[in-house]
């Protein structure tokens, strides 16, 4: 694998073992962090408009950051769960091309290291509610960062290693399996990387097409064919993802966030934010700051 993968690091948010019931029923969740589940009993469902995954005992499930999902348990579900933030120097997610719910059969080693990270990080459960709208608060993220800063170096290294081991299972089984037999052209991949690296700068479709040495209309059709989105829609989506992350994890003003994510002014950020998330940046921040 490319050595650039090892520039990614992951910081622990929560880890716990819980038993859930019918109250675990939440819709349209888009979190700025990863969720990883190991199911040991019962049944549940994780879904979005494009897929529906039945949670089954003996399987691992990964939901990358900013992946839209619905969570549901009709009766009983017991699970180990791990939540963590991703950090990379260029801001490009390891799973940027796989914003989908992933499922793999768990091994005895997976279960063992899941128990291990839980043992060395006691008291790192949510301990408030299983409702994301309650526990996804900027104030709580600060608490978790403080806990990480006070970790013993040995625990920090071991926790990081366990997260990497669990993620590696999905990289091996999911990331490099293209859903289509047709390989994504390098010009499209180059455009995706360029967009991710320049979210805060002005990006035009003409510029992307010129970099690819293609006609604008032809480039747009190829981009749509291989990503399922027009270039401008893709740019907006990635900028909104970055804005969400900054809103809930920093104290930056909304104007600063608008500038940092390439929208240049607050009205433009608000317009696109509302289009994608059906709420305004101000309301989104207010929700994240409300402690229930």
Looking up residue 41, the CATH number of its domain turns out to be 2.60.120.10
pTM for the model: 0.67
Instruction: Report the range of poorest mean pLDDT among 128-132, 199-203, 210-214.
Output: 128-132
Residue 16 contacts residue 144 (beta carbons within 8 Å)? no
Check whether residue 166 and residue 244 sit in a common domain. no
Q: Which residues of 74-84 are buried (b: 16+ CB within 10 A; e: fewer)?
A: eeebbbbbbbb
Check whether residue 40 and residue 135 sit in a common domain. yes
Does the residue 181 lie in any domain? no
Task: Give me the pLDDT at residue 251, please.
Answer: 84
Check whether residue 127 and residue 255 sit in a common domain. no
Check whether residue 160 and residue 267 sit in a common domain. no
Check whether residue 77 and residue 113 sit in a common domain. yes
Q: Considering 122, 141, 175, which residue would you say is the last residue of a domain? A: 175
Look at the chain and report how many structural domains it folds into: 2
Q: How far apart are CA 73 and CA 71, in angstroms?
A: 7
Look up residue 111 and give its two tokens: 């279960």
Distance of CA 32 to the CA centre of its chain: 5
Q: Considering 127, 151, 175, which residue would you say is the last residue of a domain? A: 175
Task: Evaluate the CA torsion angle 240, 244, 247, 250 in order and state its sign.
Answer: negative
Task: Give me the pLDDT at residue 173, please.
Answer: 61
Determine the structural domain holding residue 211 and report its residue range: 186-289
Residue 110 contacts residue 220 (beta carbons within 8 Å)? no
Q: Considering 115, 145, 175, which residue would you say is the last residue of a domain? A: 175
Query: pLDDT category, 176, cuts 50, 70, 90?
Result: very low
SS3 assignment, position 71: strand
Check whether residue 167 and residue 117 sit in a common domain. yes
Instruction: Report the range of poorest mean pLDDT among 73-77, 134-138, 213-217, 282-286.
Output: 134-138
Helix (H) or strand (E) holding 29: strand 25-29
């Amino acid at each position: 694998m490319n050595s650039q993968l090892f520039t990614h690091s992951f910081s622990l948010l929560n880890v716990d073992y819980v038993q859930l019931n019918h109250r675990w029923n939440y819709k349209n969740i888009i979190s700025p962090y990863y969720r990883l589940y190991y199911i040991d009993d019962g049944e549940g469902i994780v879904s979005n408009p494009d897929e529906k995954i039945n949670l089954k005992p003996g399987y691992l499930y990964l939901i990358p950051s900013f992946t839209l999902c619905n969570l549901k348990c009709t009766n009983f579900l017991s699970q180990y769960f791990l939540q963590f933030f991703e950090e990379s120097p260029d801001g490009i997610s390891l799973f940027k091309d796989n914003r989908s719910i992933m499922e793999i059969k768990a091994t005895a080693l997976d279960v063992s290291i899941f128990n291990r990270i839980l043992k060395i990080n006691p008291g790192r459960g949510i301990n408030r509610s299983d409702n994301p709208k309650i526990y996804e608060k900027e104030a709580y993220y600060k608490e978790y960062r403080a806990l990480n800063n006070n970790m013993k170096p040995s625990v920090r290294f071991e926790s990081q290693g366990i997260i990497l081991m669990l993620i590696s299972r999905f990289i091996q089984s999911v990331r490099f399996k293209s859903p289509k037999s047709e390989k994504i052209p390098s010009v499209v991949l180059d455009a995706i990387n360029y967009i991710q690296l320049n979210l805060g700068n002005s990006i035009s479709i003409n510029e992307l097409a010129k970099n690819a040495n293609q006609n604008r209309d032809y480039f747009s059709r190829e981009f749509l064919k291989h990503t399922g989105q027009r270039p401008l829609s893709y740019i907006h989506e990635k900028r909104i993802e970055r804005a969400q992350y900054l809103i809930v994890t920093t104290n930056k003003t909304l104007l600063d966030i608008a500038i940092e994510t390439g929208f240049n002014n607050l009205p433009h950020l608000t317009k696109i934010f509302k289009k994608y998330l059906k709420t305004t940046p101000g309301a989104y921040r207010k929700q994240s700051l409300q402690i229930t």
